[in-house]
Each structure stands twice: as structure tokens, then as C-alpha cells.
Amino acid sequence: MKMKGFEYLEEELQEMKEYGLFRTLVPIESDQGAKVVINGQEVLQLSSNNYLGLTNHPRMKEAALKSVEKYGAGTGSVRTIAGTFSMHEEFEKKLANFKHTEATLVLQSGFTANQAILSSILTKDDVVISDELNHASIIDGIRLTKAARKIYKHVDMDSLEAALKESGDYRKRLVVTDGVFSMDGNIAPLPAIVELCEKYDALIMVDDAHASGVLGRNGRGTVDHFDLNGRVHIQVGTLSKAIGVLGGYIASTQAVRDYIIHKGRPFLFSTSHPPAVTAACSEAIDILIDEPELIERLWDNAKFLKDGLRALGFETGISETPITPVIVGDGAKAHELSDKLLSHGVFAQGIAFPTVAKGAARVRTIVTATHTKEQLQEALHAFEKCGKELGII
Ligand code: PMP
């Protein structure tokens, strides 16, 4: 039944429609594979974060099913009351071991992991220093802290150093960066950030959402990729992308884990992961160890698609990872390219303001280990045809 009261929202939505910026959700009618079914049509999936194809890896499905049989569908409580199962703690120990950190704590999502850590460990006597292109969950986490805030120019070490120099009077300085930036696919210059933080006695936090399972030995992330184990104080990761399931984690010291258990509001006040989620995440870590060829295939596919797009004349920016944006500038045009690609059998989402800056709209592609070269070649043909039709190349 239609209710009155939200006409002001309807007006804004109407404006978005006029500018070609109104989006509807795209329901997938199949499992999350290299190909998916959308509107009854099988199309190539180039938008998912399922980097290694683990969402429906047979071992993952089996682990999830077995745990449902044994422990049921849900946990019935937040972790701090009655919702910690032994499997949660066993998984956290396994994850800490994998990440070479003293401890980890798993939260409902990467988003809430960032909120929990950033909102809790700093006070008004501290300062947080953040890359201007950090993920929205970092920005929102920072909004929740009482600490002072400084933003440095994207991956600009002079700008970071200037912010650190101005921050000497605070009790603690926390520098925060994405490990891999989600819209451009570039890797943070972590060795330089670590050096600066050591020089100015600052703590470092890396959000490794797009590097977990992708970069570093067996997908241990950006810190491992740069051989910086033991020099980065906090790693936040997600279990929702390459790991293929759902969740976020904070990998750090035992003190940080204990502190978040007491003070991290998303941890304290939101119900724990169902057994199937934890069992599948745990299996994923074993798969990362047992099947390193998945990561090799991912990087091989990433190079193939990136080289192909660049050879066709598309602007792919500064990407160094399996995230390859095709930058078109105008938001409506990005959505037009995305729609056209879909009608040619390729699902690659358009991304516009406010997710990226105005004038930097793009179609973002993400390959996975499960794509074949033939499929990627098909995608390149579709990009060529649609790009030419829209005058982008
Ligand atoms: N950080 C970054 C850099 C991300 O890209 C994302 C996912 N969009 C998140 C955090 C949030 O992770 P999750 O989807 O697990 O909440």
C-alpha cells in the first residue's frame, strides 16, 4: 500500500532518473560462477569479488552443509552472551596463524570490522590519518571516533609526512590505508608508509579487503606481499570477497582482540556468524594453502584482461591487481556501457558518483580464477563492440 510522507525522497529519485543515475538491483538467478544467469540469460560475470571461485567450491559447500547438520542454521546470540561457538574461536586461531599475527577477531562483515576498530581504540587525545580514497567503511568508522582526523592525498607520501609532522602533540597517531584500493585496483605503497610511521612513531592499520586471498603468500595479504609481517599493527580483512563467504576480521595483538570484545560496538551488539559461514570460511583458509594454483590463475587472468582492454584503447587507470576499471568519465555513460555490455552477454557494473569522484565514472571489471581465456576473449570482443558504438574507443 502506498503511503504519503516520502515525496521529498521521490523528488530526488526522479532527478537521478533524469540524469541516468538511478539504478535497480540486478538479481542473479544462478550460483555465483564465471557465468551467471540474469533475466533468464546466461552472461559472463565480471563484477563479483569472488576472486578465487570459492563461493561454490565443492569443499566449501560440503563444510557448510556438514556444519548445518551438526550445529543448525543460526547461533541465537551475540558473541559476548551465548553466541560464541567453539568453531568461532578455533577459526580465529587458525586465521591468526595464517596471518602471522598474535590474535584475530571475526566480525559480521568487513564494514563492521572497520567500524569496530576505528570507533573504539582512539580517544580525543589521538589522531587518525587516512588516505583520501579509503573505503566508505573506514570513512564511517572515522566519523564514529572522537579522535582528531587528517586526510592525506591519495598514496602521496609527502602529504602523509606533512600530516604526521603536524601530529606530534597527540597521544597516538593511527595511519589508515586500504591495502588495495577498491575502485582503481592500485596497491598502497605500504613499505613507504611503514617507514614514515616508524619515523614518526605512528600506528598503522591496513584494510586488506581486496588483498585477502589475492596478494601475498597463499593470499595472506598486502603486509605479507611486502614482507612487512610484524611491522603493521592492525590488519582488517574481509571473508566476503576472495574467501567467498561473509564476514570481516581484525588481525592484530591479543590486547586489541580483547579490547574489541569489550568495546567494539558492532561486535558487542550484533549476532554472531551462523555455523555454515564459519565452517566455510575455515575451509577456505585450508583451500588457500592446498590450492595455490587458484591465485596463480587469478593473476594470469587479470593480466590477460587488463592487457586486452589496454590494447583496445580503454583507459584502465593505475590498476595493478585483478580489479580493472574501464574509466569513461560521465556517470550516465558508464551505466550506458554497462547496460550495453549486459545485452552482449557481459555483466560488468557501472560505478558513478558518490562511489567514485564526479567525472571518474567507470565500468569496473574483476576477473576470477574460474574464468577461461575463451570467456575473457568473449568479454574483450563485447567491450570492443560496445566501446566503439558509444565512441569510448
Ligand atoms: N573495505 C574495503 C576496501 C572494501 O572494498 C569492502 C567491500 N566493499 C569492505 C571494506 C567491506 O567489506 P564487507 O563487504 O565484508 O563488509
CATH number of the domain within which 36 lies = 3.90.1150.10
Residues 168 and 256 in one domain: yes
- Ligand 1: distance of its center to the CA of 111 in Å? 6
Ligand 1 atom with least separation from CA of 178: 3
**Residue 97 corresponds to which cell in the numbers above?**
596463524
Residues 182 and 303 in one domain: no
Residues 153 and 176 in one domain: yes
> Does 4 fall in a domain?
no
CA distance 28 to 12: 28
> Does 12 fall in a domain?
no
For ligand 1, whether the C-beta of 111 sits within 6 Å is yes
Residues 310 and 255 in one domain: no
> Does 6 fall in a domain?
no
Residues 109 and 228 in one domain: yes
> Does 286 fall in a domain?
yes
Residue 321, SS3 per DSSP: coil
User: In the predicted model, what is the mean pLDDT of residues 7-12?
Assistant: 96
Domain containing residue 364: 19-48+292-389
For ligand 1, whether the C-beta of 221 sits within 6 Å is no
For 70, 106, 247, 285, 319, the CA distances from 109, given in Å and listed in that order, are: 24, 8, 4, 17, 25
User: In the predicted model, what is the mean pLDDT of residues 233-244?
Assistant: 98
Is-contact 193 145, C-beta < 8 A? no
Query: Which helix (H) or strand (E) segment is 116 a member of?
Result: helix 110-120
For ligand 1, whether the C-beta of 259 sits within 6 Å is no
Of the residues 228, 263, 290, the one at which a domain ends = 290
For 256, 268, 280, the CA distances from 259, given in Å and listed in that order, are: 5, 11, 27
Alpha helices in 136-188 (DSSP H): 136-143, 157-165
Residues 357 and 240 in one domain: no
* pLDDT tens per residue, range 43-91: 999 999 999 999 999 999 999 999 999 999 999 999 999 999 999 999 9
Is 90 exceeded by the pLDDT of residue 21? Answer: no
Q: How confident is the model at residue 148 (pLDDT cuts 50, 70, 90)?
A: very high
Quote the pLDDT of residue 225: 98
Residues 298 and 275 in one domain: no
Is 90 exceeded by the pLDDT of residue 2? Answer: no
Quote the pLDDT of residue 304: 98
Lowest mean pLDDT across 74-83, 180-189, 349-358: 349-358
> Does 2 fall in a domain?
no
Q: How far apart are the two ends of the chain, measured CA to CA in Å?
A: 47
> Does 53 fall in a domain?
no
Nearest to 221 by CA among 56, 95, 120, 133: 95
Is 90 exceeded by the pLDDT of residue 351? Answer: yes
- CATH number of the domain within which 243 lies: 3.40.640.10
For ligand 1, whether the C-beta of 283 sits within 6 Å is no
Residues 306 and 210 in one domain: no
Annotated catalytic residue 385:
no
Of the residues 240, 266, 290, the one at which a domain ends = 290
Residue to mutate, 114, 182, 184, ligand 1, most ligand atoms under 8 Å from C-beta: 182
Q: What is the mean pLDDT of the chain?
A: 97
Residues 74 and 96 in one domain: yes
CA distance 327 to 310: 11
Please name the residues in contact with 5: beta carbons below 8 A apart, sequence gap of 6 or more: none
82 burial class (0-12, 13-18, 19+ CB within 10 angstroms)? exposed
Residues 224 and 360 in one domain: no
For ligand 1, whether the C-beta of 248 sits within 6 Å is yes
Quote the pLDDT of residue 20: 75
CA distance 305 to 298: 11
Q: How confident is the model at residue 201 (pLDDT cuts 50, 70, 90)?
A: very high
Number of domains the chain is built from: 2
> Which value, to the nearest 10 degrees, does the dihedral of the CA atoms of residues 43, 304, 387, 363 take?
70
Residues 96 and 184 in one domain: yes
Which one from 88, 225, 233, 241 is the annotated catalytic residue? 241
Q: How confident is the model at residue 209 (pLDDT cuts 50, 70, 90)?
A: very high
Is 80 exceeded by the pLDDT of residue 18? Answer: yes
Quote the pLDDT of residue 355: 87
Residues 133 and 202 in one domain: yes
Q: How confident is the model at residue 22 (pLDDT cuts 50, 70, 90)?
A: confident
CA distance 142 to 148: 9
Lowest mean pLDDT across 118-132, 303-317, 353-367: 353-367
Q: Packing angle between helix 373-389 and helix 293-312, nearest 10 degrees? A: 30
Is 90 exceeded by the pLDDT of residue 215? Answer: yes
- Ligand 1: distance of its center to the CA of 330 in Å? 25
> Does 340 fall in a domain?
yes
> Does 135 fall in a domain?
yes
Q: How confident is the model at residue 32 (pLDDT cuts 50, 70, 90)?
A: very high
Of the residues 268, 290, 312, the one at which a domain ends = 290
